[in-house]
């Protein structure tokens, strides 16, 4: 399903997903466009995390799972035999639910993605680290202590560090899997501001539990329930004039 | 009211019981150390400490002049232990990495218990394998007459250390939060890069602890090396020399030695040196662990 015309950056076609025998996604069709934020909302267990994790093939890490359907990135099947999953994940970055910095210094956390690609030049690394930290609005807070362990940062700062780490490898798409569920409201506000800035250069997909958050940051919203896509439309329309009765009941807080 | 009194009585009884257990354990340890110390110290009335530690000749029953130098045995112990670690540490970490990251979970469920059972093989059985299997094989490979030497001891000790190193390293690799691995993969790292750049460093404290535990065990192991290394008293010239470790020497001679002689005390002094060596290994391990834990917090 597409709300916007033109070629989508990421598009799923009849996406099915199984954990063993149980079906977590049922024929989900969603398109995400460049320079737009697409939010996925829905009650717990509706499959929104499963959906977003299939976009960079992170679900393959879980044993006993199976996927059917097609996912296209720039029109190319991401499961095609000539696609290198390592390369795919470099293009489609991800920020997780809980901040998960490595037990390394702030600098080393951000340099990690470049070093695994063989970049050793100290000057270049320093440049990228600074650019990424600025991009994640964290530079001013940490510029004097890049050598400190990342665990010394607050939860909100750690999450922005993880965003900076994702930015460092210059992805085209950034997936946010409930990025604010483990941090306080002030830190949440900072990350929401950040997402709006990132929109200008990236394709952003965000899974969120928080409907206000979806309303604030996204251009398009998809409402999912029990593994099915119920409604997908312009965010404003979803929140003011939803077409589906279930969507209306969910956003007005009658369940969820 | 009465019920409550009974409960508090029970509470203090349990407290007293556990306190007794704790004190008992400490007392036994202190007792062993005191016995070792008081039996070892008289040896130094007649033997100079530097002579004891730095002379190569050990010949306490010589009719002319008894000699009490244990340097050959210290070197032998370090050689056999070092050789064992050289073999067991890389293999052990490799197997642990395979089990935690590469192997199918069904393979892991089968292999890990088997590896742990290996730890239960009596050392005399391992020594037996050294005599009938590894010794002759080593003699054939290196074209020497006798395969009972330091290499044989190292190989056998390595086999004995592997279960400890594999099991503890695998546990600590598994204890690395899944989030680290996911973060690394999501950045476009391969499975290898994730394993060696994120997981192994994060599990390093546990892996070092595993190796140190293994080292402590290797230094103290007696029966296997006694059976497999040939027990020549001469100073070792290399890994193909027949060697006598400190533990083997104590085991060989303590049954025959007359009580309350310098020789008898000297054997306890060897025990004391062994104790100091393992103590230092454990201390170093502890310091390393603490450093890493501080860095991670």
pLDDT at B206 over 90: no
Task: Give the whole-angstrom CA distance, residue B244 versus residue B232.
Answer: 6
- Shortest Cα distance from B120 to chain A (angstroms)? 32
Strand partners, A203: A173
User: For the residues B5-29, what does the mean pLDDT come to?
Assistant: 94
The pLDDT score that the predictor gives to residue B85 is 96
Residue B145 is classified by DSSP as: S
Kindly indicate the confidence band of residue B291, based on its pLDDT and cuts at 50, 70 and 90. confident
Given CB atoms, is A242 within the 8 Å cutoff of chain B? no
Neighbours of B41 (CB within 10 A): 13
Residues 6+ apart with CB under 8 A from A159: A95, A99, A179, A180, A182, A183, A187, A191
* A243 CA to centre of own chain: 26
pLDDT tier at B294, thresholds 50, 70, 90? low
Mean pLDDT computed over B55-61: 92
User: Residue A173 phi/psi, 5° resolution?
Assistant: -120, 140
* Selection from B91, B124, B136, B120 nearest residue B226 by Cα: B124
Distances A216 to A191, A206, A256, B282 between C-alpha atoms, Å: 12, 12, 19, 57
Determine the Cα–Cα distance for residues A238 and A231; give it in Å rounded to an integer.
Answer: 8
The class that CATH gives domain B58-296 is: mainly alpha
Question: Which residue is listed with tokens 């050793």?
Answer: A120
With tokens 């029966």, the residue in question is B223
Mean pLDDT by 10 residues, chain A (256 residues): 77 94 94 95 91 93 89 94 93 94 94 92 95 93 94 94 95 95 90 93 93 93 94 94 93 80
**Which residue has tokens 């460093």?**
B201
Model confidence at B296: pLDDT above 60: no
Q: End-to-end CA distance of chain B, in Å?
A: 47
Which residues in chain A touch residue B179, judged by CB atoms under 8 angstroms apart?
Answer: 96, 98, 100
For residue B111, CA distances in Å to A137, B200, B294 come to 48, 20, 34
d(C-alpha B152, C-alpha B163), whole Å: 18
Assess contact for A224 and A24: CB atoms under 8 A: no
Nearest CB to B296 within list A89, A103, A112: A103
Domain ranges of chain A: 10-251
- Mean pLDDT over the full length of chain B: 92
Q: What is the pLDDT of residue B54?
A: 93
- Across the strands, what pairs with A171? none
Q: Do residues B76 and B226 lie in contact, with contact meaning Cβ atoms separated by under 8 Å?
A: no
For the CA atoms of B134, B140, B142, B144, the dihedral, rounded to the nearest 10 degrees, stands at 100
Q: Which of A220, A202, A237, A240 is nearest to A41 (CA)?
A: A220
pLDDT tens digit string along B76-120? 999 999 999 999 999 999 999 999 988 888 899 999 999 989 889
Q: Which residues lie across from A73 on neighbouring strands?
A: A10, A76
* ipTM of predicted complex: 0.89
Q: Does the beta-carbon distance from A96 to B187 stay under 8 Å?
A: no
Instruction: Judge whether A100 is closer than 8 Å to chain B, CB to CB.
Output: yes
Distance, CA of A213 to chain centre: 14
- Region B199-219: mean pLDDT is 90
Cβ pair B188:A90 closer than 8 A: yes
Dihedral over Cα of A186, A191, A196, A200: its sign: positive
**The token pair that represents B253 in the structure block:** 């001679």
* pLDDT band per the 50, 70, 90 thresholds, residue B145: confident
Q: What is the mean pLDDT of residues B145-172?
A: 93
Specify the CATH number of the domain A10-251.
3.40.50.300
Going by pLDDT thresholds of 50, 70 and 90, the confidence category of residue B183 is very high
Q: How many CB pairs under 8 A join A and B?
A: 71
- Whether the per-residue pLDDT at B73 is higher than 90: the answer is yes
């Amino acid at each position: 399903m597409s709300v916007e015309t033109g070629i989508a950056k990421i598009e799923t076609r009849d996406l099915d997903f199984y954990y063993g025998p149980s079906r977590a996604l049922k024929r989900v069709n969603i398109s995400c466009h460049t320079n737009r934020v697409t939010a996925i909302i829905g009650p717990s267990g509706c499959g929104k995390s499963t959906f977003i994790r299939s976009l960079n093939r992170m679900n393959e890490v879980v044993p006993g799972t199976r996927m059917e359907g097609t996912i296209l990135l720039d029109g190319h099947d991401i499961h095609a035999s000539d696609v290198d999953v390592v390369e795919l994940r470099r293009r489609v970055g991800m920020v997780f639910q809980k901040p998960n910095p490595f037990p390394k210094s702030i600098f080393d956390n951000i340099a990690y993605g470049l070093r695994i690609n063989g970049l050793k030049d100290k000057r270049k690394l320093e440049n990228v680290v600074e650019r990424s930290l600025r991009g994640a609005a964290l530079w001013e807070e940490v510029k004097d202590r890049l050598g400190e362990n990342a665990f010394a940062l607050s939860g909100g700062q750690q999450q922005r560090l993880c965003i900076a780490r994702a930015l460092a490898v210059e992805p085209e798409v950034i997936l946010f899997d409930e990025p604010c569920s483990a941090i306080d409201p002030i830190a949440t506000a900072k990350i929401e501001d950040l997402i709006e800035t990132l929109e200008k250069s990236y394709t952003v997909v965000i899974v969120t539990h928080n409907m206000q958050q979806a309303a604030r940051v996204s251009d398009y919203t998809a409402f999912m329930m029990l593994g099915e896509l119920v409604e997908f439309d312009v965010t404003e329309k979803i929140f003011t004039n939803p077409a589906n009765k279930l969507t209306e009941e969910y956003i007005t807080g009658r369940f969820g | 009211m009465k019920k409550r009194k009974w409960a508090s009585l029970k509470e203090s009884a349990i407290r007293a019981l556990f306190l007794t257990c704790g004190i008992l354990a400490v007392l036994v340890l202190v007792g062993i150390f005191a016995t070792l110390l008081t039996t070892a110290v008289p040896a130094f009335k007649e033997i100079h400490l530097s002579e004891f530690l730095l002379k190569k000749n050990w010949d306490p029953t010589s009719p002319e002049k008894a000699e009490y130098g244990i340097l050959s045995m210290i070197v032998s112990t370090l050689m056999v232990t070092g050789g064992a670690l050289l073999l067991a540490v890389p293999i052990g970490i490799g197997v642990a990495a395979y089990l935690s990251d590469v192997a199918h979970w069904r393979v892991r469920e089968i292999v890990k218990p088997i590896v742990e059972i290996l730890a239960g093989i009596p050392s005399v059985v391992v020594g037996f394998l050294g005599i009938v299997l590894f010794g002759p094989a080593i003699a054939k490979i290196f074209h020497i007459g006798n395969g009972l030497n330091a290499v044989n001891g190292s190989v056998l000790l390595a086999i004995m250390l592997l279960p400890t190193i594999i099991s503890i390293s695998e546990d600590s690799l598994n204890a690395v939060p899944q989030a680290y691995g996911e973060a690394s993969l999501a950045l476009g790292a391969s499975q290898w890069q994730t394993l060696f750049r994120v997981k192994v460093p994060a599990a390093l404290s546990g892996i070092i602890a595993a190796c140190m535990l293994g080292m402590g065990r290797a230094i103290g192991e007696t029966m296997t090396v006694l059976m497999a290394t040939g027990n020549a008293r001469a100073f070792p010239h290399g890994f193909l020399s027949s060697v006598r470790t400190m533990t083997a020497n104590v085991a060989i001679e303590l049954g025959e030695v007359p009580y309350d002689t310098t020789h008898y005390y000297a054997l306890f002094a060897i025990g004391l040196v062994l104790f100091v060596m393992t103590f230092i290994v454990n201390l170093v391990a502890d310091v390393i662990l603490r450093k890493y834990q501080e860095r991670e917090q």
